[in-house]
């Protein structure tokens, strides 16, 4: 059985659609995604299960959760009803237009129990969002008495060295701070190299023979991330560091059938070696001679199953993770 006995703290993904298409986004969010948002009944179900599993606080993220500020209020209401505390809402500040409209949104968020915004501050986001919006949203939060959790202040001076009225590409940063800047940025940020982040940095990674990659394979322990898991708008549990893999939370709470979630089960118990064996035996997958590590091989297989074979596998959801990269 695939089963979760308890969870401590994690995040709720209200939507995958985003105003930006950041190069470091491990969820592969972008404007291309369908315009779906977590419904009030799904939010109620998720918070009730989380509370039952012992999880009393979560953050809210996306995509950009404040793309639809009216829809987030019902999610906040459902959290309150189920006694789940909202630690913070993540936002990229792209929705900021002016002081009055921002104040109205912040006032509503506060009324519904949200007291902190995590505001993204880094050069990846600055490729899409001019810095003046971040500064103005921080000022608006201060006036509305909403706490700001700046993520990350370390990058403030780098971004502030640019003209804050417009976005700036990573190439501009490399011209100002040196050619190695994009690579150093990944290290400074502590990137989770999955999804689009993996695609961005894969060309800079060293390849190894397939046999060596398989030799390193170990169980991925997808269910062990009890402190930083996510649950998305479709009710799926998203493992701590591996988006694009999922099992419905309500099934995991009572015990999910490994025979239905074979990709997930293979990775959980045997790692990518187990997934290669499954994909070769059942789906005609042919591995390449070299890979940039286990996750490269894992993505090659998952992309093959979703994009090439067009299989509707319940544990490789949402498909947009692969499609909109």
Site string for ligand SF4, 147-186 (x = CB under 6 A): ----------------------------------------
> Which CB, 49 or 67, lies closer to ligand SF4?
67
Q: How far apart are CA 288 and CA 313, in angstroms?
A: 23
Q: How far apart are CA 112 and CA 80, in angstroms?
A: 8
Q: Which residues is 145 bridged to in the sheet?
A: none
Site string for ligand SF4, 187-226 (x = CB under 6 A): -------x-------------------------x------
Q: How far apart are CA 264 and CA 246, in angstroms?
A: 7
Q: How far apart are CA 235 and CA 176, in angstroms?
A: 44
Residues 188, 156 contacting (CB under 8 angstroms): no
Helix and strand tally (H, E) in the chain? 15, 10
> Which CB, 253 or 298, lies closer to ligand SF4?
298
Q: How far apart are CA 191 and CA 189, in angstroms?
A: 5
Residues in 58-87 at the binding interface with ligand SF4, rule: CB under 6 A: 62-64
**Near ligand SF4 by CB under 6 A: residue from 158, 294, 300, 315:** 294
Pick from 18, 104, 15: nearest CA to 60: 15
> Which CB, 62 or 235, lies closer to ligand SF4?
62
**Near ligand SF4 by CB under 6 A: residue from 7, 119, 266, 295:** 295
Q: How far is the CB of 300 from ligand SF4 (least distance, A)?
A: 10
> DSSP secondary structure string, 144-160?
HT-EEEEETGGGHHHHH
Q: How far apart are CA 22 and CA 29, in angstroms?
A: 8
Kindly list the distances between the CA atom of residue 195 and the CA atoms of 2, 10, 202, in Å, as whole numbers in the listed order.
Answer: 24, 19, 11
Note whether 267 binds ligand SF4 by CB under 6 A.
Answer: yes
Beta strands in 208-275 (DSSP E): 208-209, 229-232, 236-238, 247-248
Residues in 12-51 at the binding interface with ligand SF4, rule: CB under 6 A: 18, 20-22, 25, 27, 29
Q: How far is the CB of 306 from ligand SF4 (least distance, A)?
A: 14
> Which CB, 27 or 261, lies closer to ligand SF4?
27
Residues in 87-126 at the binding interface with ligand SF4, rule: CB under 6 A: 92, 125
Span from 44-52, 98-106, 140-148, 292-300 in contact with ligand SF4 (CB under 6 A) = 292-300
Q: How far is the CB of 156 from ligand SF4 (least distance, A)?
A: 17
Q: How far is the CB of 51 from ligand SF4 (least distance, A)?
A: 26
How many C-beta atoms lie closer than 10 Å to residue 301's C-beta? 23
> Which CB, 49 or 275, lies closer to ligand SF4?
275
Residues 225, 241 contacting (CB under 8 angstroms): yes
CB proximity list for 320: less than 8 A, separation 6 or greater: 16, 28, 32, 33, 34
> Which CB, 47 or 324, lies closer to ligand SF4?
324
Q: Which residues is 151 bridged to in the sheet?
A: 120
Site string for ligand SF4, 223-262 (x = CB under 6 A): -------------------x--------------------
Rule CB under 6 A: which residues touch ligand SF4?
18, 20-22, 25, 27, 29, 62-64, 92, 125, 194, 220, 242, 267, 272, 294-295, 298
């Amino acid at each position: 059985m695939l089963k979760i006995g308890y969870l401590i703290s994690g995040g709720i993904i209200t939507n995958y659609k985003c105003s930006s298409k950041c190069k470091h986004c491990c969820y592969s969010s972008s404007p291309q995604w369908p315009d779906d948002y977590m419904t009030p009944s799904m939010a109620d179900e998720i918070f009730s299960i989380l509370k039952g599993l012992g999880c009393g606080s979560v953050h809210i993220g996306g995509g950009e959760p404040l793309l639809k500020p009216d829809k987030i209020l019902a999610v906040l209401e459902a959290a309150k009803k189920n006694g789940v505390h909202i630690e913070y809402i993540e936002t990229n500040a792209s929705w900021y237009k002016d002081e009055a409209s921002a104040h109205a949104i912040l006032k509503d968020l506060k009324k519904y129990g949200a007291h902190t915004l995590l505001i993204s501050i880094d050069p990846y986001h600055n490729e899409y969002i001019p810095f003046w919006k971040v500064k103005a949203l921080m000022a608006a939060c201060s006036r509305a008495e909403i706490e700001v959790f700046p993520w990350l202040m370390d990058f403030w001076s780098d971004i502030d060295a640019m003209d804050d009225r417009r976005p700036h590409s990573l190439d501009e940063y490399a011209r100002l701070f040196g050619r190695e800047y994009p690579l150093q940025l990944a290290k400074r940020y502590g990137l989770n190299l999955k999804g689009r982040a993996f695609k961005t940095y894969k060309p800079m990674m060293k390849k190894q023979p397939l046999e060596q990659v398989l030799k390193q394979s170990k169980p991925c322990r997808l269910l062990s991330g009890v402190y930083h898991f996510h649950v998305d708008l479709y009710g799926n549990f998203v493992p701590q560091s591996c988006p694009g893999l999922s099992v419905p939370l309500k099934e995991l709470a009572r015990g999910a059938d490994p025979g239905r979630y074979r990709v997930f089960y293979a990775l959980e118990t045997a790692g990518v070696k187990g997934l290669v064996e499954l994909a070769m035996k059942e789906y005609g997958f042919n591995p390449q001679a070299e890979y940039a590590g286990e996750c490269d091989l894992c993505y090659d297989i998952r992309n093959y199953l979703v994009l090439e074979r067009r299989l509707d596998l319940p544990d490789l959801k949402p498909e947009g993770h692969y499609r909109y990269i």
